[in-house]
Chains A and B, each alone.
Chain A
């Protein structure tokens, strides 16, 4: 296991990238801590698979370095990096038995048979496939095949990191949950460094200690699930994470207040002069319908999703969503919305701006 450092990394699929837009992966510095579980989250085409392939050595970056525990491996071939990868579609060697599949990486590295047999037994127990060891891999279900791919990675004791490229895409919904849980417990038990690429926020938030959100070839935020929820550093994070996503409303910000079409909204701190496109972002969880104060809204629809209700409304021409508790009253007279000042974030050109001189006040638990 190792700490993985990305130093000034960027990649373009073009031989001579001209401008920033030619880069599939824009300049990036980051340390992946030893033994942590990361999720790499973003919509398709945002560069997350590119980043993963650079780490695994299947792709060589156009600039920058990749370091494993301080050792430069930027140009090292995949096999030397000692990493394991589980792909979107299960990769198993169809004509081999499950046992031979698991033994394959070790045999290729010339380990002796006794050791191989012992490790295969151990790994088979870890992934719960001891009973199937002598079956051919061809006829197995997709989730069993994914477990074998995972097992092939873990069978090497010295593996530096386990990488996952949307591994649950072809798995049946009811098996997804089980596999993810199994992954998490394997992580707790054996402490591999894991990097998990996905476009599914639930998968990312439940799997990872830290989530890396990518947008348009750029890492826009790295943080715990809670940080992503409460302090989205970029409007994309706000919009992408949460269900429904954060409300983003164009506004003017002066001091401790934001003004939307002249109506004022209280903020948690004071802000200096802001340039460019200024918006405020409020999660639906921190907005509440009211009959007396706040901004005027027109409620268009109320959806009951079980644990809570989602109110779809319009506020000065902007769509906004409000989450109301199951017991909350929603009446015809409730034509205003109030935002919780501690959870109103201010964005300039899509990036979050911190209030002046303010440390982040610890926020309450999300709904």
Chain B
């Protein structure tokens, strides 16, 4: 705001305060970026340099670590697998959550409150509790080591979350809009797709963002439910480390590459992030 700066000289105390905000923010961002910088730094070094002399930036810049990952199928298929099940999960979660959230936001029905609460408890269930039973369940129905198994398993916490977020956004849409549409002769399906969904587009975006995020970052379940064909990048990383000794450079490069999809997604939804994190409840 322009008037903040013009007003500052008038009061002796407010001048350092404005600076202190910038200082806090800068320190915090540096704190966030330093470990990530270090990872990037290491990914651009050779193993010899990493283990040799300590340096703040790569002396002997190399892209070899990235080349290793992008040319080796056992590495890059990890990214492909992760992206496949994450996208599947996001689509499934949002698709089933949409009608349910509409029902919760618009109607009273028998057991609605208990159902909503029960859904939320699943968001709060520790994945560790479900790891073993999931393994057995998906093995017994022949879905072990498939993308859909991981996508379905992640629905455990993503569907409740999506319902919750979407319900928050839908509550903000006046009910008169529904009624007007029905009076105008829209069927429920046509109304929902043509009129209602565009209205809560940002809510859908936020819900999808969260589903993407939680599915992308989860490791325990995705590692338990896969072995070869659907092995996620996160699991590939942990296994390669223990098998091939410690190839720090490749490990760091793989880590950097896992940050990229998240960063891209954030960039696209940056204007909704703040509202999104409040789950539509501000």
Contact = CB atoms under 8 A, between A and B. Distances in A.
A261 B66 CA distance: 84
**Could you say which interface size class chain B belongs to?**
under 10
A76 B3 CA distance: 12
A75 B10 contact: yes
Nearest to B6: A60
A58 interface: yes
A75 B3 CA distance: 10
Contacts of A59: 3
- The A interface, classified by DSSP as helix, strand, loop or mixed, is loop
Interface in A51-89: 58-60, 75-77
Contacts of A75: 6, 10
Contacts of A58: 3
B11 interface: yes
Nearest to A78: B7
Contacts, number: 12
Contacts of A15: 2
Nearest to A53: B3
B6 A76 contact: no
Nearest to B11: A77
Interface in A12-30: 15
B157 to A, nearest CB: 34
Contacts of B2: 15
A60 B3 contact: yes
Interface in A134-182: none
Contacts of B6: 60, 75
Interface string B85-115: 0000000000000000000000000000000
B219 to A, nearest CB: 43
A33 B108 CA distance: 59
A59 B2 CA distance: 9
B16 to A, nearest CB: 17
Contacts of B10: 75-77
A303 B6 CA distance: 55
A322 B7 CA distance: 54
Interface string B1-14: 01100110011000
A61 to B, nearest CB: 11
B5 to A, nearest CB: 10
A59 B7 CA distance: 10
Interface string A293-320: 0000000000000000000000000000
Contacts of A76: 10
Interface in B1-44: 2-3, 6-7, 10-11
B4 to A, nearest CB: 11
Interface string B246-268: 00000000000000000000000
Nearest to A58: B3
A75 B10 CA distance: 8
A362 to B, nearest CB: 47
A58 B4 CA distance: 10
A15 B3 CA distance: 12
A75 B6 CA distance: 8
A243 B3 CA distance: 40
Contacts of B3: 58-60
Nearest to A79: B11
Contacts of A77: 7, 10-11
Nearest to A76: B10
A183 to B, nearest CB: 29
A365 B31 CA distance: 75
A17 to B, nearest CB: 13
Nearest to B7: A77
B127 to A, nearest CB: 39
Contacts of A60: 3, 6-7
B77 to A, nearest CB: 54
B70 to A, nearest CB: 48
Nearest to A75: B10
A77 B11 CA distance: 9
Nearest to A13: B2
A77 B7 CA distance: 7
Interface string B121-157: 0000000000000000000000000000000000000
B208 to A, nearest CB: 33
A107 to B, nearest CB: 19
Contacts of B7: 60, 77
Residue of B2, B6, B7, B11 most packed against chain A (CB within 10 A): B7
A189 B26 CA distance: 54
B120 to A, nearest CB: 27
Nearest to A80: B10
- Please list the 5 inter-chain residue pairs (A to B) with the smallest Cβ-Cβ separation, ordered nearest first: A60-B6, A77-B10, A60-B3, A77-B7, A59-B3
Interface of A: 15, 58-60, 75-77
Interface of B: 2-3, 6-7, 10-11
Given A58-B3, A60-B3, A76-B10, 5 more contacts: A15-B2, A59-B3, A60-B6, A75-B6, A77-B7
7 contacts: A59-B3, A60-B3, A75-B6, A75-B10, A77-B7, A77-B10, A77-B11
